[in-house]
Amino acid sequence: LGMEGVPIISNKMKFDDSGKLVGFENKTIHIMNKGAVALEGGNLELVKDKSNVILLGDSLGDLRMADGLPNKQHVLKIGFLNDKIEERKE
């Protein structure tokens, strides 16, 4: 599909042989640490020269996840509305 060279930074789940979630690879990215933990280790090397970013999230805090990327020029932000749907439609 032409996805080589397209890094994906996300939580990666680990499952046992029965399909039960048993943990996560690496540190878990959550609402309080998205900017810091997501780019630790080799992740920053994967994205430091990228100028285009597709950002997916389900909270207002997710909107700023790409702020620390040094060479970003274009950021497409896609949000998921998971709760309080009727009151947040506007």
Distance CA 88, CA 62 (A): 16
Distance CA 66, CA 52 (A): 10
pLDDT at 37: 67
Confirm whether pTM is higher than 0.85.
no
Q: Give the pLDDT of the chain (90 residues) as one tens digit per residue.
A: 677 888 888 889 999 999 999 999 888 887 777 776 677 777 888 888 889 999 888 888 888 888 878 888 999 999 888 888 888 776
Distance CA 75, CA 65 (A): 10
Nearest to 21 by CA among 10, 33, 13, 12: 13
